Amino acid sequence: MATIEDTVRVPPNMFDRPLEEVAAEILNRKYVGKLDKKLGILITVTEVLEHSEGTVVIGDGSAFYHVTFNALFFTPTLHEVVDGEVIEIIEFGSFVRIGPLDGLVHVSQVTNDYITYDERRGALVANETNKSLEQTDFVRARIVALSMKGNSTKECKIGLTMRQPGLGRFEWIEEEKQKSKK
């Protein structure tokens, strides 16, 4: 959570709504998904704390307000363990949605087993254990590569691994826990 200041342009068609609500909506359209090098990726404006009295600029019917607001950020860190949903399976790996970002689990990082791509099923399948990874599966992974460049989530790159104990598809993790109890 961070406190930020900015100027918000409120068009006349929004004058009848509460300023805090309108300002949050406008700020969210402007900032959600933007990357700040120190704070991370802005997820949402949570509340407008203060605002100045509105000013009007000649030739523009809108009102301009200086606002102070709180915003929630997501800052992935190297070696962090994250939970996510597999959103796409491709020949060389799977894309996992972790919050506002997508990370890549390369086929070499899915399991210790040799993995093949089953194009018909749209799945990655382990040869010896028959473990499979498909779209909509929920997984736990560790961030092993991180590049937070540019100004938006589109320019960020995250590499993930699931080849360590306690990582992988949630069903695999549960199976391992059951085996260790025996």
131-174: pLDDT as tens digits: 899 999 999 999 999 988 877 777 789 999 999 989 999 999 89
pLDDT > 90 in the chain, percent = 59
Give the C-alpha distances (Å, rounded to integers) separating 136 from 87, 88, 95, 139, 171. 6, 8, 11, 9, 13
The predicted structure's pLDDT at residue 33: 87
The answer on pLDDT for 176 being more than 70 is yes
**What mean pLDDT value characterizes the chain?**
91
User: How would you classify the pairing of strands 93-98 and 63-74?
Assistant: unpaired
Nearest to 69 by CA among 52, 86, 55: 52
Helix (H) or strand (E) holding 19, with range, is: helix 19-31
pLDDT tens digits along 104-125: 999 999 998 899 899 898 899 9
Element (H, E) at 172: helix 170-181
Give the number of C-alpha atoms closer than 13 A to the C-alpha of residue 100, restricted to the C-beta side.
21
Mean pLDDT over 31-50 rounds to 89
Between the alpha carbon of residue 122 and those of residues 87, 92, 102, 119, the distances in Å are: 11, 12, 18, 5
Q: Which pTM was predicted? A: 0.77
pLDDT at site 85: 96
Q: For residue range 7-21, list pLDDT tens digits in order.
A: 999 999 999 999 999
Asked if 127 and 117 touch (Cβ cutoff 8 Å), the reply is no
Reported confidence tier of residue 182, pLDDT bands at 50, 70, 90: low
